Amino acid sequence: MESQTASSNQMIPSNDWTQNVNNWNQQPMNYNSMNNIPESSVTQKPPSFNNAMIGGDSSKFSPNFVASQPLQYQYPSSSSQQQFQSFNSMNMPVSTQTSLKQVDDKLNNQMSSLSLNNDSMNNQNQLFNQQPKLYPTDNNFQSKTFSDASYPSYNLSNTTVGRTDSINHQSVSSKSNQQFQQSLVTDSGQQMQSNSQQPSNLKSSIPHQQNIPTQNIAPPIPVPQHNNFGYDGQPIAKQLQSQPLSTNSWNSGASSQIPSTNNYDQQNGSYYHNFPTPNAYQNPGQIPSSGPIGSMNTQYNYQQQSMFNNNRYPPPPMLSNNQMSSTGGMSSGLGSGQFSPMAQQQQNKLDPEAMPSVVQVLNEDKSKFESNNNVLFCTSIPAAIPPQVTTILDNENQIIQDGGSASPIFLRPTIYQVPVNEDNLKISDIPFGTVIKPFDDQEVERKIYVPISPSEIIRCNRCKAYMNPYNRFIDGGRRFQCSLCHHLTEVSPSYFSDLDHIGQRLDKHQRPELCLGSYEFIATEEYCRNSVSNNRRPHLIFACELTETSKPILNILTKNLIEIIKNFPRDPSNPEAPPPMFGFLTYNSKIQIYDILNNGHAHVVCDLSMPFSPMNTFLIDPLIHMDKIENFLLNLPHLYANEELDMQTILGPVIEAALMSTQVDVNNWINQCLINKIVNDQQQNITYETIPAGKIYLFHCTLPTFGDAETPGRLKQRWAHSPDEIRKLLGTDKEKTVLAPDLNKYYIQLGQKCVTDYASGVELFLFPSKSNGTFLDIATLGELVRLTGTGSIFKFYNDFSEAFLTDLKYSLFSSYAFDCVLKVRTSTGIRPHDYIGNFYSRSLNDIECAAINTNTNFCIEFKYDDKLQEDEHVVIQAGILYTSLSGQRRVRIHNIALASCQQIGDVYRNSCCDTIVNLMARNAVYNLRNGNKTIQQTKESIVNRVINIFTAYRKHCAQPGSSLGQLILPETLKILPMYICGLLKCDAIDGGPEMTPDDKAFAQLKLIGSSVSMSQLFLYPKLTKIEYENENEDSELKYLHIRCSGYKLNTPAMAYVLENGFYIILMLTTSGCTNLKFLKGLFGPNVDSVTKIQIDQPLPHLLTPESLSINKFFRKIENDRKCSYKVHIIRQGIDKSESVFRSFLYEDQKMITRSVGESKLEGLSYVDLLCHLHKEIRAQIN
């Protein structure tokens, strides 16, 4: 709901930043005073972005590598010089290649013709190991030697799995039972042996090559240490002038660190114009050093040219029969890997350690961005692939600097290079979308700051896009060209500024909207409801069930709310503003609304069909009446302590009564005010109403069954069978009869009314009784919170203490925006097509939310309308109109510019696996929950899409001549099969009779609204190994993130911690249960035996090193996830609940507890899924 015109009126925020702007205006700007930046890099003319001044002049930089041009490398003078064959246009970047098991005798016969003899392989391997490492003359490439993207081989009974260097599918022979070890090649060319030494009788077929000299890269530009928030006293100019020199800033489209093949990058370079010219690639014959650059350990690498006719790597020596092998496939920028399932005997097993590891990928990404300065990553134009979400969480003390595109915290697309032609995207079947998170909890913690622009709101006259850094000013600054629709718009006199010699506005670094990817405007009247800009601050209402079951909740809630309200946070952008208004009510079969200003008098509402109270002092200001709030909360439990309360309750009318009371509250001084307005030259009195925004918190225990069929919001048990019989339907095609919302659409309509009429969100805190199997119909009640935008349901079983209070504080303190409208605009040629998340939409273009918090995010998928222009960026702009915590109406803008491309290989190179998985998971659960697909159809749809993605990669990107016996995966998506394996097993989709209907509905709602970091956790639980650093008595505990597989539990450890997004399981190992130091340190001095551990009690907080360390570890998890976790304790080999722990080891095969018919996708292990994918890919290719 955005205005179609922009007002010239300005509302200047009263903050320090405005004062700094005034100070800057009084001082001349020196635009060439950039630290350590050569003058040439400052004055050079940037390349054209549809005639827009963005990036750097391509003529000033070394050219990018063009795949279609011959590339030759010069070696030092030596008798052993070798001339490698140049790549042709079909050679694509190196792919992740690893081999897998295929239990298929027919496959063995097909591949037997590709076998090589051992002697030939040994000679070829020696030749390969002595070849110097080659690198391209391009700065976009990350250094990884051949072994970096590989996985070491392991001794198996009949099979060795690992990274090899040639296609080697040998027939089964007597040597297949022999054990072998594969040598690893390091960056320096040295060999690191595995458990056994290599045979000494191997001789090299060529002389030893000398090391190629390297060229040092210029040191990075220092980042000022005072810029802790990415925006400070003189933020914009300094931020852009002092950015670290990092590869992602140079990268042409992005972070893949490999040469782009699109014309725009080859012509314009896409270097940010404030960066000095890189000088690492001046001579094609020289190889740059791979030392750290800026804030990243930047390395460069490219595929070696083969000396053999088949253009494949020679294999290492002593490969066993039926061994998996790999070739140089498409270079994906970060290395690549491939897997070759072979025809094996049924008893043979592949080593899961040889499969692509999620843990390894996350650790490598963390090391890649590891640095000592305070900047973790700097965004660029066009945007580069950012760090993994886990890397950002683990480096919480470092910031992501805004370099012109929005931070990946706010915007994270699925692909960072968009194909010009829609056909390429359809062929790849990679989803094109983005995850938008308008706000982040780091803003509440004051770690990041999105600036408020003092400017008036300037928008394109045609598409209504807001001013952004990608717009081009022409005609001396009197007009600007929209970066989305290319329409020319006149610049208002109040916004006019002269241009410098390169076409940039002189005040560019003084206006956030001209140089940053994220910023805000103060909204004028036309952006407010009923054109009333002076909205009162939002309200927060607490409604607690008042029955015999809920008495413990009422006692704990009233006891702790006093301190919460006293310390309630202020608006981060306006900290001097007062806190929200508060209101209180209770309910059972009636509604009690409390008038705290009048000694806490309760107005009882009995008419549930019209739950209205005429009381106009419902809301209370904590700044003025905190003493009355405190007295009321202390006395409330005593009012009902000796009364016999109802056992039945209502719910829907409670929400209506509370929100209707806010409409007539005396604090709404704007409501029903008379505004003088001239109409037809006559003065008339017109009543203007505004809708107070806010949120209501419901604390609920029982199913709302009170009343008759006419009672609003009444629910009932939807089946007459026993709970066990209903559970048997879960996981089958009939589960939709259990999980579908109630046919009476009362709560759906109430949720829509909360958005449109009351602008108030709803959050549910549910307390079902686990002993009697209480059913609360979360599938129906969940629609209430989903439509209002919060999507927040908290569920606690028989636990009304610490976990409940922690989640309540997180929820309250993350309340950030109210009465929100989100609009996504894109460049001409694409448009938003589908939205997934928690919201209500009255039109196809806008989504509305009554309230959202710092965890709220939306998933948007895009669709092509026309062919894109290759020499232009693809711009995505998300604008959200909202009311802040202080009652101020604002517009927040997030922008990102993506490079365009023509080659399908660029799409794979610049894919973001985490975002793709998030979008696929939410799509799958959304269709399943709406009844559009059955569970079996959902799983088949997921797997078929993955097959299409990898089949297209194999057809269009893999090296020609690669054997069909190899499963070739792109580097950026090599762990996609593991996430898909977890998606097929997660509770939201695969939950069966072991769950309750409420549990599964709860899991589905969580996944539909999950952020990228949470979806990653849902689909691949985090398994941590706890052990002592050494055997000394004063040794401390250490924590190691390991693969989520059962075979990892066989290593010595004190305990294992599994985090799956819903709870934490602490499993004490056999060693931990017998280690007295560990037991006493964790559970107390009286626990000297495993039988004395009280697993039903919370983990104690002691002053011992073990207790302090583990509890600190758990607090870190909760702080990262912004939610509380109940810790479940399990003793290995003793407690039956160990099976629950193992059911979340998603790399292993899952035990099926229901009938699945002829499905081939049930409970597949990671290895089995890879084999299935390979089989289907081969079938499609054939």
Q: Which region holds residue 175: left if phi is over 0, alpha if psi is between -120 and 50, else beta?
A: alpha
Q: Which amino acid is at 385?
A: I
CA-CA distance, 55 to 972, in Å (whole number)? Answer: 25
Return the pLDDT at 1014.
Answer: 96
Tell me the residue ranges of DSSP E strands in 856-966: 858-864, 874-883, 889-901
For the chain, how long is the longest CA-to-CA vector? Answer: 106
Candidates 107, 93, 97, 112; CA nearest to 325 is 97
Residue count of the chain? 1182
Cis peptide before 38 (omega within 30 of 0): no
Q: Which amino acid is at 894?
A: H
CA-CA distance, 1100 to 958, in Å (whole number)? Answer: 55
Tell me the residue ranges of DSSP E strands in 421-481: 433-436, 452-453, 472-474, 479-481
The CA-to-CA distance between both ends of the chain, in Å, stands at 52
1127 three-class SS = strand
Mean pLDDT by 10 residues, the chain (1182 residues): 40 40 39 35 36 34 33 34 36 40 41 38 40 35 32 30 33 33 31 36 35 42 39 40 37 38 43 32 33 32 29 30 32 35 45 89 93 90 95 88 96 97 95 97 87 94 97 96 97 95 94 97 87 81 93 92 93 89 95 91 87 79 94 93 87 93 70 39 48 92 90 84 81 87 90 94 89 79 94 81 88 94 97 95 91 95 94 96 93 98 96 98 94 92 97 92 88 97 95 91 95 96 95 88 93 94 94 92 92 90 95 94 92 92 94 72 92 95 86
The token pair at 159 is: 């099979």
Q: Burial of 678 by CB count in 10 Å (0-12 exposed, 13-18 middle, 19+ buried)?
A: exposed
User: In what order do the strands lie in the sheet containing 479-481?
Assistant: 472-474, 479-481, 488-490
CB 619 within 8 A of CB 662: yes
The token pair at 1011 is: 């952020």
375 — phi, psi (to 5°)?
-110, 115
Q: Which amino acid is at 270?
A: S
1165 — phi, psi (to 5°)?
-75, 170
Strands 479-481 and 488-490: antiparallel
0.85 exceeded by the pTM? no
- All domains in the chain, ordered by first residue: 539-815 (3.40.50.410), 913-1013+1154-1181 (1.20.120.730), 1021-1143 (3.40.20.10)
CA-CA distance, 441 to 459, in Å (whole number)? Answer: 29
CA-CA distance, 407 to 409, in Å (whole number)? Answer: 5
70 three-class SS = coil
Residue the block writes with tokens 């899991």: 1003
Query: DSSP per residue over 226-283, as a string?
Result: T-TTS--SSHHHHHHHT----HHHH-SS-TT-S---SHHHHHHTT--TTSPPP-TTSS
Angle at 1031 between CA 1025 and CA 1034, to 5 degrees: 95
Q: Which amino acid is at 624?
A: I
**Taking the alpha carbons of 54, 59, 63, 67 in that order, is the dihedral positive or negative?**
positive
Query: DSSP per residue over 298-352, as a string?
Result: -----PPPPSSTT--PPPPSSPPTT----------SS-BEEE---B--TT----G
CB 632 within 8 A of CB 678: no
The token pair at 985 is: 């097993």
Q: Which region holds residue 546: left if phi is over 0, alpha if psi is between -120 and 50, else beta?
A: beta
Candidates 390, 404, 410, 391; CA nearest to 858 is 410
Residue the block writes with tokens 């952006």: 527
Q: Burial of 1026 by CB count in 10 Å (0-12 exposed, 13-18 middle, 19+ buried)?
A: buried
CB 287 within 8 A of CB 135: yes
Candidates 226, 341, 432, 412; CA nearest to 963 is 341
CA-CA distance, 1067 to 1059, in Å (whole number)? Answer: 11
**Residue 450: which residues within 8 A CB-CB, separation 6 or more?**
443, 518, 519, 520, 573, 892
Return the pLDDT at 609.
Answer: 82
Strands 694-700 and 760-766: parallel
Q: For residue 312, give Cα distances in angstroms to 308, 951, 973, 1079.
A: 7, 21, 22, 55
